[in-house]
Structure 1
Amino acid sequence: MPRIKLTLPEHFSFTTEIPVRITDLNYGGHVGNDSVLSLIHELRVQFLRHHGYQELDMAGVGLIMADVTIEFRAELFYGETLRGSIAAAEFSRVGFDLYYKLEKLANDKWVSVSFARTGMVCYDYKAKKIAPVPKEVMNKLLS
């Protein structure tokens, strides 16, 4: 069966570190796939906050995650620190993609843990309809 292979952008505009919590572990003793999705959500919130936005208010529009792709590459354990990097790309009239690179420090070098992509759609929650990406948002997220 063919496996998903994400092609990541060369440049990531935002990087942060998040400690792995005990609640991120599954019965196998490592970070579960559902927790990786939660960690990606945390990274996205920090990325948006860095640019002065929130998921429900990005220059007047909110965000909805339309789809997600995650490529798992290595285990992540309690006590390790996750380094997450994010890049915005592939803007359309009403949405864009966010790419995520998740790494951990092992033997004094950063090792890839997961790669991910989320398809984000701008949404007007009051009108209950899809909205265009504000030009200001595209300019900030690409910088």
Structure 2
Amino acid sequence: MARLHLDFPQNPFFYATALTVRVTDVNAAHHLANDSMISMISEARARMLFEYGVSIDDIIVTDLATVYRAEARARDQLRFEVGLMDLNKYGGDIIFRITRPADGTLIALAKSGFVFFDYPSRKVIAMPADFISRFPEVNVLFATMHSRL
């Protein structure tokens, strides 16, 4: 079976947050369980969006890809670096690099697709015009793409 490969641009991360692996996050093999990693990625995404004034009520996750590189164990402090890429008319990808700062180990890379969604009408909607302006760190990178939206 082909392995999943995530390829991110140079230095695409503009936000970081720390999360601790709880005892309840580990599985029978005593490392961070897949379902707990998904929850931690969701928390990092929500923190980033909140920090930049974007309501999580305005978006819906369309997919998630995660590539594991090393194990994390209970009480490990993990750093979740977050960025944006592949924006389009309706959304894009939120990307993650998860490391253990204590020893610099890369734990995982992840990419979460999203679109803007109008829940009352149950329809995907165009990205709000002011969305990209909330992220000054990436405005230069996406200026030409945003002008094509």
Task: Tell me if structure 2 keeps the 8 A contact 1:65–1:118.
Answer: yes
Number of aligned residue pairs: 136
In the superposition, the TM-score normalised over structure 2's length comes to 0.86
In the superposition, the TM-score normalised over structure 1's length comes to 0.90
Q: CA deviation at 1:36?
A: 0.8
Partner of 1:3: 3
Task: Tell me if structure 1 keeps the 8 A contact 2:53–2:134.
Answer: no
Deviations 1:31-77 (A, max 9, x none): 01111111100000000011022210xxxxx1111111100110001
Task: Tell me if structure 1 keeps the 8 A contact 2:67–2:108.
Answer: yes
* Percent of aligned pairs sharing the same letter: 28
Partner of 1:36: 37
Structure 1: which 4+ aligned runs deviate by more than 2 Å? Answer: none
Structure 1 residues 1-143: aligned runs within 5 Å: 1-11=1-11, 12-56=13-57, 62-106=58-102, 109-141=103-135, 142-143=138-139
Q: Specify which structure has the higher proportion of helix.
A: 2
Task: Tell me if structure 2 keeps the 8 A contact 1:18–1:82.
Answer: yes
Deviations 1:5-50 (A, max 9, x none): 1012322010111111111111111101111111100000000011
Structure 2: gaps spanning 5 or more residues:
140-149
Deviations 1:82-133 (A, max 9, x none): 1000101111111111110000034xx3111010001101101122111111
Structure 1: gaps spanning 5 or more residues:
57-61
- Distance in 1 (CA, whole Å) between partners of 2:3 and 2:125 is 33
- Distance in 2 (CA, whole Å) between partners of 1:9 and 1:35 is 27
Coordinate RMSD, CA, aligned: 1.2
